[in-house]
Structure 1
């Protein structure tokens, strides 16, 4: 069998697995997660994984999905001081090597998901078959992609939408923007919709109401929000509302009538909050185009290794 290594490299974690490309579905085997800061390079992290697997021979092929733009098979990470190229991976012993954007991999993986891998947000309608779908998510950063179907062909567009400018929709968000504009030369979507972005929202809202902001990490804010503490709860609810508004903007931009899928590390932790209604209200609040958004379903992806599935599909297809 044609054995392959697949990887999903974010700003914080590197996830690897083995796939047998001849298998139907090519589901990841033996997935493991490593802290990126524990390794000086991608090659070192790959070697650690293969050593842990007890592998004396490198797989035939590798595809790594990375959190950053990829140009001609070369990637410099946005939130990580690593650089990787397909040529460098082949030089380490792989016969075939692909480097793709992580949201390209996520979009390619969506068609292989089952209903058990998804949680609908709100009363979402069934999507019409064959339409474009969008994938986006918040984690260390914010990523966006779209999968377009043309007859039997699937095409993925992956950009850097997380670095588009943040657009406030009410007075509170205007005040949040004003405070963030003091800290950053430019306030992008990622400055709000990410782990660090949740912390930015929380601190800005504390400043607006003149309250203390004792929690220092996104995990602490999320935990206290789910426990019912007022300021963290309001910050997380506003995070989800902004997420809905941004998701609606990208659904309009891509014409994503096939659905919007929320991936990344944060959305699965906030399903309860996302389902309270603020996300869908903001998603659909697009003036004359509100009926267009109302017909688009939204889901949280709960499968932990969607990017690895997508990376395997890329190798199988090429």
Structure 2
């Protein structure tokens, strides 16, 4: 396949790389806020790499949001894509747009040794679906299916926007605070970067504590340093992620296993592995035993979404 470009574009950052011989080259991360359009960001990236206009055979972009054929509107940033205008400006014949967590799911098929930590032990049933879920600017959820010919299918969805699951009286009280603030409470409203701050403020209100921390990074740092309120917030974050992941397993029959991806959880990997995630993951009443033996991994790979975009492009051109 001729030289291609792959991108993984979220709400805050756009990651780009060249795709050659089924490998990533020259990865660069750009802030979406610094560019009016994705075309402008890609043009700067290609100029920095010394790649002339018209040199690319194809582009695959993993995009946060529901992907359509002709027009795409990003969910968590100001960028838009018109397929025809994009291809004309960048002088390419093939543009493949896929959901960002479809790309993330496909990236799980190329994880190298040491790019994941096992959170829950078990034996993967590769004939069943895998769930990929991850918190970043938003909450992404993808489904991965192995095919008989050795290829993989990633099912697109918007699972981050489901209702926040409630599994205890304490969580019901927190939900009431969140509902007063937000109205409809989605999983993403808590299980995301900004959601960590939303959860912190809600917990402070519920417990009558004056909020002092101003952002998710401060909350994480304080929690790891032993601050009681911040630690409780981070613990609740892990528990709610467990409930959300478990709900997806039941809905899909995902005995292949679960990959925890995204940029947030790896920042407190040890805390996460010792948190209530595993307990809440399988806390499903009469169906709790269903989770016995389902493995869960925390993904620590640096650019799995980019790798997945390359896999998607490779599979399309070989199909």
Q: TM-score range by the shorter chain?
A: over 0.9
Residue of structure 2 equivalent to 1:168: 166
State the alpha-carbon separation in 2 of the partners of residues 312 and 195 from structure 1. Answer: 26
Residue of structure 1 equivalent to 2:83: 86
Instruction: Report 1:86-125 matches (<5 A).
Output: 86-92=83-89, 93-122=91-120, 124-125=121-122
Q: CA deviation at 1:136?
A: 0.8
Residue of structure 1 equivalent to 2:71: 74
Q: CA deviation at 1:73?
A: 4.9
Instruction: Report 1:10-49 matches (<5 A).
Output: 10-20=10-20, 23=21, 26-49=22-45
Structure 1 residue 143 corresponds to structure 2 residue 114: no
SS in 2 for 1:71: coil
Matched-pair contact (CA < 8 Å) for 1:240–1:273: no
Q: CA deviation at 1:88?
A: 2.7
Q: Paired residues, what number?
A: 313
SS in 1 for 2:255: coil
Q: CA deviation at 1:204?
A: 0.8
SS in 2 for 1:282: helix
Matched-pair contact (CA < 8 Å) for 1:142–1:189: yes
State the alpha-carbon separation in 2 of the partners of residues 309 and 249 from structure 1. Answer: 27
SS in 1 for 2:163: coil
SS in 2 for 1:47: helix
Q: Which sections of structure 2, spanning at least 5 residues, go unmatched?
A: none
Q: CA deviation at 1:87?
A: 2.5
Structure 1 residue 291 corresponds to structure 2 residue 289: yes
Matched-pair contact (CA < 8 Å) for 2:57–2:92: yes
Matched-pair contact (CA < 8 Å) for 2:102–2:155: yes
Residue of structure 1 equivalent to 2:299: 301
Matched-pair contact (CA < 8 Å) for 1:67–1:101: yes
Task: Return closer, same or farther for 1:264/1:85 CA change in 2, 3 Å cut-off.
Answer: farther
User: What RMSD in Å do the two structures reach over aligned CA positions?
Assistant: 1.3
State the alpha-carbon separation in 2 of the partners of residues 155 and 105 from structure 1. Answer: 10
SS in 1 for 2:65: coil
